[in-house]
Structure formats: structure tokens, C-alpha cells
Amino acid sequence: MKISSVGALEFLDSRGNPTVSAQIHLQDGTVASAIVPSGASTGEREAAELRDGDPNRYGGKGVQTAVTHVRTEIHAALVGYDVTDQKRLDDRLIELDGTPNKSRLGANAILGVSMAAARAAASATGQPLFKYLGGNQESPLPVPCLNVINGGRHADNTVDFQEFQIAPHNASSFSEGLRMGIETFHALKTLLRTEGKATGVGDEGGFAPDLGNDEDAVEFILRAIEKAGYRPGEDIVLCLDPATSELWNNGTYVFEKSGQEDMTTQEMIQLWKTWVNKYPIVLIEDALAENDWLGWKQLTATLGNQVELVGDDIFCTNPAILQEAIEKGVGNSILIKLNQIGTVSETLECVQLAQKCGYGVYVSHRSGETEDTFIADLAVATGCGHIKTGSGCRGERIAKFNRLIEIEHSLGDSACYAGLGGFHQSIVSTQH
């Protein structure tokens, strides 16, 4: 189980930007690799991706320096390490980097190696990745929350909120839930086309039409659910990620793309109250901006027993920030993105802290993704109950769904589907 060498290549992500692919070779001949994703609407306190900044290559976005760090310093530090001791290996990477945000070696270099190590360990011990990461506890398959309308930083349309998701919870299995979601995605396409709207897709595979205002997106989706033969609320619920840190400007929420009126924190909270009461919305992520902690506290007191309030940019998959949020009563759930923190061990530590403290856990892709399916296994390993990994198209997103279908099949009769119970407990009592 000892590492014999560590390598890396400069790969490309789904936006055609360079990213790190890391490989681990073990003395027993096992080889495993992993590819790192990349965000667009990033939190200020995320671990730092190292980019070359050379304007003559990929507009400065090359990752050759990070690749070199893997091949030289990281390789030298890890040769001989037991690959099954993930914590010790990750701690060594953190120590070697020496900065609080992994900016010297690059969080992209470090995470690639950390993920590849987990995969190598799973392979060398003869286990699927989800079993290796999660142990033998029975975990439900997550509800796929499909981001069927894209806006914000992920699309060039007039929609300010970033993500409008459908969660097909009322199904007997993951595969059936996914089918309901995909059928609704196709129904939405027909509906948009019929009404003269564009059906091109955004970064995460959801449609990206120009709409009159953000609420129109919700209305279109509800109609699509019915058109596909399902009942909004009873079969399929809605989740939102407005990614409001992107709208935040000196204490005001600015709706630049749609041209709607600016809003204060109070007005935003009022908007969410109205929407939650009017529509079958069970989850809102980044309902307020990452620097609006006072607003978040108030929002949580107002809606936290009715809806899952997920912190993405505000928590950055960081156990220390999450701890502070728990103490302050901010949010009731956390988005989990491996590259926000930069190692597998810290990601798992964050999940454990959230679960211990009654926070929801929502495993997520990035808007810049790859064919790597690590997060599908992570979602099952953690028993997080719901995953967001795209919409009804784009191979880098579908790859995760296909992996989950494979996992479900491999579990046979012991497979179960999380359904509405996969969301934070606050919403179960208020089934729409």
C-alpha cells in the first residue's frame, strides 16, 4: 500500500480551462488518478487554485506550475507513504504547503493528489470508493437536484439568480427519481421552445433563456413538472441557489442582469418568505451574501424551521467557519465542495461536524467540472441525502448520475433512496 510515485498532467475542464489531473502509483502496481474541478462564483475564503498567470498560455489560466509542484515537491514528500492513511497524507500536504489557504503549492495540486490517493487506496484494498470512504454503514442514494435553469455567473441571459433546481423526491429508487427529473428537463425544453425562448444551456447544463424576471423561471419549471406528468410538491420539489454573493454590492443586492430593483437584506428575506410560502421550495443555498452574517442570522431565525438553508460561499466547506456558524445560528446546512477546502480529510471532517451538529450536508459539483465522478461516491459515503451535479445534459454532469446508477445497481436489494428524508429535518414536517 506504499506510494511509489506521484505524477500530474495539465488537463481541461468543462469550460475548456486547464485543470490538474494527479496520478498515484503504488508499489503493488496500483495506479489511480483524479481530476480537479473549478468554480466561477467562488467564495472569498476558498482554498486557492494556483494558475500560471502567463498571458501567452490559456489567457493566464494554465496550471503548469501546479503540475510541476506535484511532480517534484509533492512526489518527493509522499514516496513511501501508506496510501490508506489519508489523514496523515493530507496533513503532510498541508504542512508542505505551509500557507493557510494552500496557495503556495496550489489547492488544485493538493486536492488532485488527495483524491487520487483515496482512489488508489480503495482500489488497492479491493473496495469501491464509496465503501472505502464511508465504511460499511448503509447509506441511502441521494436525491439528484437537477439545475434545470441556469442564470447568474453561469449563463449569458437576463436571469440574476444562478440555479433553479428540481428534486424528484417521491420515487422508489435513485434511478426512478433521476428519470422523473430528466423527463421534466425534456418537458421544460419543449415548453420553452413553444413559447419562443432559447433552449441553449449554461455551464451546468440547465437552460439559459432570457426571462422577464427571476420568478418566471420558477413558474416555467412548475409547468414543466406538470407537463411531464408529475405533481409539484408531492413528487418533485424545488431547490434554489441564487448565489447572492455575486449580487452583493456594499450592503445592497443588485440585479444587474434582469434590471430589477435593488434590494436590501430585509427585502431579500421578505422575498424568500414569500417564495417559500407560495412555491414548493424546500432548500435555498446562499440566500444571502457571504459577508451578510447578520442577515443570515435573521434569515435562519425566520425560515430555518421551514426550509433547508445551505451555506456555500459563506462556509467554503471549512470546518472552522462552519463551527463559527453553528455557534451563531447561521444556516442549517452546508454545501460540500472538495476544492473549496482542498483535501479529502478536511472535507470529511467538515461533513462529520455538520452531521454531529444537526446540519444538513449537500454534496456538490463545481460549474467547471470534469469526467471525474468522485463526488458521486462521496455523496453515498457520507449519506448526505441529496446531491447537485448538473441538469439533464452535458457529459461531465451525466457521468456522476451514471456512477450513481452503477452504485445503486451494485448495492442490489440493500439500496434505498433518500427521498424527502435526504433533506434537512426542518423541511420534513412541512411537506408541501
Residues 294-313 that bind Zn ion (CB under 5 A): 312
Q: How far is the CB of 291 from Zn ion (least distance, A)?
A: 15
Cβ 263 vs Cβ 161: under 8 Å: no
Active-site entry in 131, 189, 337, 388: 337
Q: Which is nearer to ligand PGA, 230 or 272 (CB)?
A: 272
367 in contact with ligand PGA (CB under 6 A): yes
Contact of 67 with 57, CB cutoff 8 Å: no
Site membership for ligand PGA, residue 40 (CB under 6 A): yes
With CB under 6 A as the contact rule, the residue among 41, 114, 158, 332 that binds ligand PGA is: 41
Instruction: Give the other-Cβ count within 10 Å of 416's Cβ.
Output: 16
Under rule CB under 5 A, residue 241 binds Zn ion? yes
Residue 364 sits in the site that holds ligand PGA (CB under 6 A): yes
By C-beta, is 153 or 432 nearer to ligand PGA?
153
Of the residues 46, 204, 346, 408, only one is catalytic, namely 204
| 256 assigned to active site | no
* Choice between 128 and 206, CB closer to ligand PGA: 206
Which residues have C-beta within 8 Å of that of residue 298, sequence separation ≥ 6? Answer: 265, 269
Characterize the bridge pairing of strands 252-253 and 31-35: unpaired
Q: What is the CA radius of gyration of the chain?
A: 21
Residue pair 60/54 in contact (Cβ under 8 Å)? The answer is: yes
Residues near 299 by beta carbon (within 8 Å), at least 6 away in sequence:
269, 272, 287, 288, 309
Q: Which of residues 42-81 bind ligand PGA (CB under 6 A)?
A: 42
Which of the ranges 101-109, 135-143, 173-181, 362-370 carries the binding residues for ligand PGA, by CB under 6 A?
Answer: 362-370
Site for ligand PGA in 10-39 (CB under 6 A): 39
Question: Whose CB is nearest to ligand PGA?
Answer: 39
204 a catalytic residue: yes
The partner in contact with residue 97, picked from Zn ion, ligand PGA, none with C-beta cut-offs of 5 to 8 angstroms by kind, is none
For 49-79, b/e burial (b = at least 16 CB within 10 A) is bbbbeeeeebeebbbbbbbbbbbebbbebbe
* Rounded least distance, CB 24 to ligand PGA, Å: 25
**Residue 162 C-beta: closest distance to ligand PGA, Å:** 6
Whether 361 and 334 have beta carbons less than 8 Å apart is answered as yes
The reply on whether position 311 binds ligand PGA by CB under 6 A is no
**Burial of 16: CB neighbours in 10 Å, binned 0-12, 13-18, 19+:** exposed
Least separation, in Å, of the C-beta of 49 and ligand PGA? 12
Nearer residue to ligand PGA within complex by CB, 241 or 308 = 241
Q: Work out how close the CB of 145 gets to ligand PGA at its nearest, in angstroms, rounded to a whole number.
A: 11
**Burial status of residue 167 (CB atoms within 10 A of its CB: 0-12, 13-18, 19 or more):** buried
Of the candidates 169, 147, 130, the residue with the CA atom closest to the CA atom of residue 423: 169
Q: What are phi and psi of 359, to 5 degrees?
A: -85, 150
379: part of which helix (H) or strand (E)?
helix 374-382
Which 157-176 residues touch ligand PGA, going by CB under 6 A?
none
Q: Return residues touching Zn ion (CB under 5 A).
A: 241, 285-286, 312
Q: Return residues touching ligand PGA (CB under 6 A).
A: 39-42, 241, 243, 312, 364, 366-367
Which amino acids are annotated catalytic? 204, 337
